[in-house]
Amino acid sequence: MYHVAICDDNEQQRELVRHMLTVFSLKTNIEFHITMFSSGEQLLAHYKDQRETFHLLILDVEMGGLNGIQTAQEIRKLKIMDVQIMFLTSYPEYMVQSFDVMTFQYLIKPIQEAVLEEKLIKLHQYFQAMDKKYLVIKSDYDDLMLKYEDILWIEVIKSLTVKNKLKVITRDNSYETKGILSAYATTLTEHGFMQIHRSVLINLMHVHKFTGAQVTMLDGTSLPIGRSKIKEVKDTYTKYMIMRVQ
Protein backbone atom coordinates (compact mmCIF):
# COMPACT_ATOMS: atom_id res chain seq x y z
CA MET A 1 0.00 0.00 0.00
CA TYR A 2 1.23 3.47 -0.88
CA HIS A 3 0.58 6.44 1.39
CA VAL A 4 -0.33 9.44 -0.75
CA ALA A 5 -0.90 13.07 0.23
CA ILE A 6 -2.98 15.28 -2.07
CA CYS A 7 -2.35 18.96 -1.34
CA ASP A 8 -4.49 21.47 -3.22
CA ASP A 9 -6.45 24.51 -2.05
CA ASN A 10 -9.26 23.65 -4.46
CA GLU A 11 -11.57 21.02 -2.96
CA GLN A 12 -12.98 20.02 -6.34
CA GLN A 13 -9.46 19.37 -7.65
CA ARG A 14 -8.56 17.31 -4.57
CA GLU A 15 -11.63 15.14 -5.03
CA LEU A 16 -10.89 14.71 -8.74
CA VAL A 17 -7.39 13.42 -8.04
CA ARG A 18 -8.66 11.13 -5.29
CA HIS A 19 -11.28 9.73 -7.68
CA MET A 20 -8.62 9.06 -10.32
CA LEU A 21 -6.46 7.24 -7.77
CA THR A 22 -9.44 5.14 -6.67
CA VAL A 23 -10.26 4.17 -10.26
CA PHE A 24 -6.60 3.30 -10.91
CA SER A 25 -6.53 1.19 -7.74
CA LEU A 26 -9.58 -0.79 -8.85
CA LYS A 27 -7.96 -1.45 -12.24
CA THR A 28 -4.57 -2.52 -10.94
CA ASN A 29 -5.08 -3.73 -7.34
CA ILE A 30 -2.42 -1.21 -6.29
CA GLU A 31 -3.71 0.17 -2.99
CA PHE A 32 -3.50 3.76 -1.78
CA HIS A 33 -4.04 5.32 1.61
CA ILE A 34 -4.95 8.91 0.76
CA THR A 35 -4.70 11.95 3.05
CA MET A 36 -6.04 15.32 1.90
CA PHE A 37 -4.55 18.74 2.68
CA SER A 38 -5.98 22.11 1.71
CA SER A 39 -2.73 24.09 1.98
CA GLY A 40 1.01 23.72 1.99
CA GLU A 41 1.08 25.00 5.57
CA GLN A 42 -1.28 22.21 6.65
CA LEU A 43 0.91 19.55 5.02
CA LEU A 44 4.06 20.97 6.65
CA ALA A 45 2.35 21.05 10.06
CA HIS A 46 1.47 17.37 9.61
CA TYR A 47 5.11 16.50 8.96
CA LYS A 48 6.42 18.57 11.87
CA ASP A 49 3.85 17.26 14.36
CA GLN A 50 3.78 13.59 13.39
CA ARG A 51 7.02 13.02 11.44
CA GLU A 52 4.89 10.72 9.27
CA THR A 53 6.12 10.53 5.73
CA PHE A 54 4.36 9.53 2.52
CA HIS A 55 5.41 7.61 -0.55
CA LEU A 56 4.01 10.29 -2.84
CA LEU A 57 3.00 13.94 -2.52
CA ILE A 58 0.68 15.32 -5.21
CA LEU A 59 1.09 19.08 -4.90
CA ASP A 60 -0.75 21.85 -6.69
CA VAL A 61 1.78 24.52 -7.67
CA GLU A 62 -0.64 27.46 -7.63
CA MET A 63 -1.87 27.66 -4.03
CA GLY A 64 -2.48 30.63 -1.77
CA GLY A 65 0.12 31.03 0.97
CA LEU A 66 2.93 28.54 0.36
CA ASN A 67 2.71 27.36 -3.21
CA GLY A 68 3.51 23.77 -4.16
CA ILE A 69 7.18 24.36 -4.96
CA GLN A 70 7.76 26.32 -1.74
CA THR A 71 6.02 23.55 0.22
CA ALA A 72 8.26 20.93 -1.38
CA GLN A 73 11.36 22.98 -0.60
CA GLU A 74 10.37 23.19 3.07
CA ILE A 75 9.77 19.44 3.21
CA ARG A 76 13.24 18.78 1.77
CA LYS A 77 14.70 21.11 4.44
CA LEU A 78 13.24 18.69 7.02
CA LYS A 79 15.62 16.06 5.53
CA ILE A 80 12.70 14.10 4.09
CA MET A 81 14.37 12.95 0.90
CA ASP A 82 12.74 9.64 0.03
CA VAL A 83 9.19 10.91 -0.65
CA GLN A 84 8.41 11.36 -4.34
CA ILE A 85 6.69 14.54 -5.49
CA MET A 86 4.24 15.03 -8.34
CA PHE A 87 3.37 18.63 -9.22
CA LEU A 88 0.07 19.73 -10.76
CA THR A 89 -0.03 23.04 -12.61
CA SER A 90 -1.64 24.98 -15.41
CA TYR A 91 1.67 26.69 -16.22
CA PRO A 92 4.51 24.58 -17.69
CA GLU A 93 7.08 27.31 -16.98
CA TYR A 94 7.14 26.19 -13.32
CA MET A 95 8.79 22.94 -14.37
CA VAL A 96 12.35 24.30 -14.20
CA GLN A 97 11.78 25.62 -10.66
CA SER A 98 10.75 22.17 -9.49
CA PHE A 99 14.03 20.47 -10.41
CA ASP A 100 15.79 21.38 -7.16
CA VAL A 101 13.24 19.48 -5.06
CA MET A 102 13.73 16.20 -6.96
CA THR A 103 10.35 15.96 -8.64
CA PHE A 104 9.16 12.57 -9.73
CA GLN A 105 6.59 13.74 -12.26
CA TYR A 106 4.96 16.90 -13.53
CA LEU A 107 1.32 17.01 -14.72
CA ILE A 108 -0.35 19.79 -16.68
CA LYS A 109 -3.97 20.65 -15.87
CA PRO A 110 -6.55 19.65 -16.83
CA ILE A 111 -5.25 16.25 -15.77
CA GLN A 112 -5.67 13.50 -18.31
CA GLU A 113 -6.53 10.27 -16.54
CA ALA A 114 -4.47 8.13 -18.93
CA VAL A 115 -1.39 10.30 -18.35
CA LEU A 116 -1.78 10.13 -14.56
CA GLU A 117 -2.16 6.35 -14.71
CA GLU A 118 0.97 6.03 -16.86
CA LYS A 119 2.96 8.02 -14.32
CA LEU A 120 1.55 6.03 -11.39
CA ILE A 121 2.67 2.81 -13.06
CA LYS A 122 6.18 4.25 -13.42
CA LEU A 123 6.10 5.27 -9.78
CA HIS A 124 5.04 1.77 -8.75
CA GLN A 125 7.90 0.28 -10.78
CA TYR A 126 10.31 2.74 -9.17
CA PHE A 127 9.29 1.76 -5.64
CA GLN A 128 9.48 -1.93 -6.51
CA ALA A 129 13.04 -1.43 -7.71
CA MET A 130 13.94 0.53 -4.57
CA ASP A 131 12.40 -2.11 -2.32
CA LYS A 132 14.83 -4.63 -3.75
CA LYS A 133 17.85 -2.51 -2.91
CA TYR A 134 17.20 -0.22 0.05
CA LEU A 135 16.07 -0.22 3.66
CA VAL A 136 14.70 3.09 4.97
CA ILE A 137 15.30 3.72 8.67
CA LYS A 138 14.64 6.70 10.92
CA SER A 139 17.79 7.88 12.67
CA ASP A 140 17.23 10.88 14.97
CA TYR A 141 15.42 13.32 12.65
CA ASP A 142 16.66 11.87 9.37
CA ASP A 143 15.24 9.19 7.10
CA LEU A 144 18.19 7.15 5.86
CA MET A 145 18.21 4.90 2.82
CA LEU A 146 20.69 2.06 3.34
CA LYS A 147 21.57 -0.44 0.64
CA TYR A 148 20.80 -4.00 1.72
CA GLU A 149 24.22 -5.12 0.55
CA ASP A 150 25.90 -2.56 2.83
CA ILE A 151 24.13 -3.75 5.99
CA LEU A 152 26.11 -6.32 8.00
CA TRP A 153 23.66 -6.90 10.83
CA ILE A 154 20.96 -5.32 13.00
CA GLU A 155 20.97 -5.79 16.75
CA VAL A 156 18.83 -4.89 19.74
CA ILE A 157 20.55 -2.53 22.15
CA LYS A 158 19.50 -1.97 25.75
CA SER A 159 18.29 1.47 26.73
CA LEU A 160 16.70 2.81 29.89
CA THR A 161 15.07 5.68 28.05
CA VAL A 162 14.21 4.37 24.57
CA LYS A 163 11.94 1.40 23.93
CA ASN A 164 12.74 -1.03 21.09
CA LYS A 165 16.10 0.55 20.31
CA LEU A 166 18.09 -0.98 17.47
CA LYS A 167 21.53 -0.51 15.97
CA VAL A 168 22.07 -1.00 12.24
CA ILE A 169 25.69 -1.80 11.39
CA THR A 170 26.88 -1.13 7.85
CA ARG A 171 30.22 -1.47 6.09
CA ASP A 172 31.23 2.07 7.06
CA ASN A 173 29.06 3.17 9.97
CA SER A 174 26.39 2.30 12.50
CA TYR A 175 23.01 3.95 13.06
CA GLU A 176 20.56 3.88 15.94
CA THR A 177 16.86 3.62 15.26
CA LYS A 178 13.68 2.24 16.83
CA GLY A 179 11.72 -0.83 15.80
CA ILE A 180 10.85 -4.47 16.40
CA LEU A 181 13.63 -6.79 15.26
CA SER A 182 11.24 -9.56 14.25
CA ALA A 183 9.40 -7.09 11.99
CA TYR A 184 12.67 -6.28 10.23
CA ALA A 185 13.34 -10.01 9.94
CA THR A 186 9.98 -10.56 8.23
CA THR A 187 10.68 -7.78 5.74
CA LEU A 188 14.30 -8.68 5.03
CA THR A 189 14.19 -12.49 4.83
CA GLU A 190 13.69 -12.43 1.05
CA HIS A 191 16.75 -10.19 0.74
CA GLY A 192 19.16 -12.63 2.35
CA PHE A 193 18.80 -11.71 6.03
CA MET A 194 18.09 -14.08 8.93
CA GLN A 195 17.33 -13.61 12.60
CA ILE A 196 19.85 -15.85 14.39
CA HIS A 197 19.10 -14.73 17.93
CA ARG A 198 16.31 -12.86 19.68
CA SER A 199 18.53 -9.76 19.50
CA VAL A 200 20.48 -10.25 16.24
CA LEU A 201 19.52 -10.18 12.56
CA ILE A 202 22.37 -10.80 10.09
CA ASN A 203 22.97 -10.35 6.38
CA LEU A 204 24.01 -13.80 5.18
CA MET A 205 26.20 -12.38 2.42
CA HIS A 206 28.56 -11.01 5.10
CA VAL A 207 29.05 -14.30 6.98
CA HIS A 208 32.63 -15.58 7.23
CA LYS A 209 32.23 -18.79 9.25
CA PHE A 210 30.28 -20.59 11.98
CA THR A 211 31.91 -21.79 15.19
CA GLY A 212 29.65 -23.61 17.60
CA ALA A 213 26.96 -21.18 18.73
CA GLN A 214 28.60 -18.18 17.11
CA VAL A 215 28.84 -16.70 13.66
CA THR A 216 31.84 -14.66 12.59
CA MET A 217 31.11 -11.89 10.12
CA LEU A 218 33.51 -10.80 7.38
CA ASP A 219 34.60 -7.81 9.48
CA GLY A 220 35.72 -10.18 12.24
CA THR A 221 32.83 -9.56 14.63
CA SER A 222 31.46 -12.62 16.44
CA LEU A 223 27.71 -12.74 17.07
CA PRO A 224 25.67 -15.24 19.13
CA ILE A 225 23.32 -17.79 17.62
CA GLY A 226 20.31 -18.81 19.69
CA ARG A 227 20.80 -22.36 20.96
CA SER A 228 17.58 -23.57 19.38
CA LYS A 229 18.46 -21.94 16.05
CA ILE A 230 21.93 -23.38 15.37
CA LYS A 231 20.85 -26.08 12.91
CA GLU A 232 18.26 -23.85 11.22
CA VAL A 233 20.80 -21.05 10.74
CA LYS A 234 23.43 -23.32 9.22
CA ASP A 235 20.90 -25.03 6.93
CA THR A 236 19.53 -21.67 5.77
CA TYR A 237 23.04 -20.39 5.10
CA THR A 238 23.87 -23.48 3.06
CA LYS A 239 20.73 -23.04 0.93
CA TYR A 240 21.52 -19.33 0.53
CA MET A 241 25.03 -20.06 -0.75
CA ILE A 242 23.71 -22.69 -3.18
CA MET A 243 21.20 -20.18 -4.57
CA ARG A 244 23.93 -17.53 -4.99
CA VAL A 245 26.13 -19.73 -7.17
CA GLN A 246 23.33 -20.92 -9.42
Provide the pLDDT confidence category of residue 162 given band limits of 50, 70 and 90: confident
Question: How many Å apart are CA 177 and CA 155, to the nearest integer?
Answer: 10
Per-residue pLDDT at 32: 94
CATH fold of 134-244? OB fold (Dihydrolipoamide Acetyltransferase, E2P) (2.40.50)
What backbone phi and psi angles, to 5 degrees, belong to 206? -105, 15
Per-residue pLDDT at 245: 55
Q: Tell me: the pLDDT tens digits for 10-54?
A: 999 999 999 999 999 999 999 999 999 999 999 999 988 875 678
CATH homologous superfamily of 2-132 equals Response regulator (3.40.50.2300)
Task: Inform me whether the pLDDT recorded for 70 exceeds 80.
Answer: yes
Q: Tell me: the pLDDT tens digits for 115-150?
A: 999 999 988 888 777 666 778 887 766 677 788 888
What backbone phi and psi angles, to 5 degrees, belong to 155? -135, 150
Provide the pLDDT confidence category of residue 91 given band limits of 50, 70 and 90: confident
Helix-strand-coil percent breakdown of the chain, rounded to 5?
40, 30, 25
Residue positions counted in the chain:
246
Task: Inform me whether the pLDDT recorded for 234 exceeds 60.
Answer: yes
Tell me where in the chain the CATH 3.40.50.2300 domain(s) lie.
2-132
Average pLDDT, the chain: 87
Tell me where in the chain the CATH 2.40.50.1020 domain(s) lie.
134-244
What backbone phi and psi angles, to 5 degrees, belong to 65? 70, -135
